[in-house]
Chain A
């Protein structure tokens, strides 16, 4: 079966019967990758969501293309990851060229034993198409096309959005409003907020060409190549034999002239050679800014994705960080809306994702300064680094063609319980829990897929199964009012154990114990967004209950009084 032409898909506007006095739980503005991911996450938690979008089409042309491992892991949890990966082009390796020589090759996922690759390349219209189809089939999600937010009024316990439609305006009252409406966010403007940051004085030409080529599926980046002197070029492979080429043009380039085929085609021929057979599929010019809103939460209005923060494209930190926003917000809003956690939990959405945005903006700005040096001396150092990189290892670490998207570690989050036991290794409290291959009843499976969308307590026992007391303590945590999944991870030589209500996984290769520094056993509390909230060498019900309360921003003194 061929693929649907998602770029040509016209989404049907349906007249929404005005229902005065009814209140929606959650309204999402914007049905892009972030808004649709947000809707799927909340729907999976049983929340009803209304998604409004001012358009009636999905993404067209060449926009986001690189989707990171973390994003794929999140989409796996929402049931759309497999389809993205099946269609997408998986890659782990990047190469950097200076003039006509390779100076540096990097592997973004050098170790085996992860379900997902470092990246897939996939046109944004496929990404949105798959998310859209999933959302359209979900009875919890009400998608309303050609519904445009034109006014937002905040009240003490709700928000009223005035929505314009082909049949005229109507009012939509909601407990919560999530603005996923992109870089030029109308909602941001409607509540009188703005983004602050740096606008970069450079222009890039995007050309998507269709051709049969034998390049490997890697990210290739050229500094000052002979075919495009003094500027940079980036080449990416996409599905359907489409190749995306980004040509740096400089600030003085004329955006109207540069997109004309007679000017674009010679640039492509210079790269591919005069004999290359290709068809031009898309051309556009972009400039970019690194900026963010000061606060991602304004009362009952929450901002996620480009509406909250923008970065340069180098590093694939735009759509990927937006999907991580949705991942962070979904479980928190669900717990607050359900009355299981205080409103303060939503403040940690803002603080954690503001920190993530700062990290992304920092990396993205640094990449941009390396790719587009702002002075003669900056250019001299840049080119010197590239020359040194061919010979010396230290200089390769300075070559910056984009630091590719990795999930942020929430190091200072108030939801973390700091370590009291010694742990070594790369995982720290606040980091994303790593994946590992496991078996379930003898069947090969992946660890992250077992964590689900609730809190998870993982008891990792490489050598001996836990005693009855430990298991009783684990069982008790499941009755604390907040859904918790308990998982037992047994080493290859442990005798089998069966505990009602507990997932028993087998760490057949010992990779999980190694990645979690659990060779002598460990107990991890993992948040619904798969970030580590707390960990100990031994499971202790009291410590676990306390850490769980902390991880949902509940006051801790009530637990202490239970002693």
Chain B
């Protein structure tokens, strides 16, 4: 099963609002820590090393390419 990069949330804007809200009033350091916890929780939920590896690769690619 490849990584799904098509939209999955019925209302994507709801998800984005939740994500931003969840970080509200945190310091940048706290936000990094929260993101780390999020990565661990969601990766375990996905439970498929190929899918998670593909996501890791795509995410890494994004930050290594100059804007």
- Which residues from chain A sit less than 8 Å from chain B, CB to CB? 377, 380-381, 383-385, 387-388, 392, 394-395, 398
Chain A residue at smallest Cβ distance from B39:
A381
Chain B residue at smallest Cβ distance from A398:
B40
Does the CB pair A381–B44 fall under 8 Å? no
Q: Which one, B2-10, B12-20, B30-38, B53-61, is touching chain A?
A: B30-38
- Shortest beta-carbon distance from B60 to chain A in Å: 12
Does the CB pair A394–B32 fall under 8 Å? no
Mind listing 22 A-B residue pairs with CB under 8 Å? A377-B36, A380-B32, A380-B33, A380-B36, A381-B36, A381-B39, A381-B40, A383-B33, A384-B33, A384-B36, A384-B37, A384-B40, A385-B40, A387-B37, A388-B37, A388-B40, A388-B41, A392-B41, A394-B44, A395-B40, A395-B44, A398-B40
| Chain A contact surface mostly | helix
- Which residues from chain B sit less than 8 Å from chain A, CB to CB? 32-33, 36-37, 39-41, 44
- Neighbouring B residues of A394 by C-beta, 8 Å: 44
- Shortest beta-carbon distance from B43 to chain A in Å: 9
List 9 additional A-B contacts (Cβ < 8 Å) besides A377-B36, A380-B36, A381-B39: A380-B32, A381-B36, A384-B33, A384-B36, A387-B37, A388-B41, A394-B44, A395-B40, A398-B40
The docked-state distance in angstroms from the alpha carbon of A281 to that of B44 is 45
The docked-state distance in angstroms from the alpha carbon of A395 to that of B44 is 9
- Shortest beta-carbon distance from A58 to chain B in Å: 46
The docked-state distance in angstroms from the alpha carbon of A395 to that of B39 is 12
- Shortest beta-carbon distance from A397 to chain B in Å: 9
- Shortest beta-carbon distance from B44 to chain A in Å: 4
The docked-state distance in angstroms from the alpha carbon of A387 to that of B33 is 11
Chain B residue at smallest Cβ distance from A380:
B36
Instruction: Specify which of B32, B33, B39, B40 lies most central, judged by the most chain A CB atoms within 10 Å of its CB.
Output: B40
Chain B residue at smallest Cβ distance from A384:
B36
- Neighbouring B residues of A377 by C-beta, 8 Å: 36
- Neighbouring A residues of B32 by C-beta, 8 Å: 380
- Neighbouring A residues of B33 by C-beta, 8 Å: 380, 383-384
The docked-state distance in angstroms from the alpha carbon of A381 to that of B37 is 8
- Shortest beta-carbon distance from B9 to chain A in Å: 24
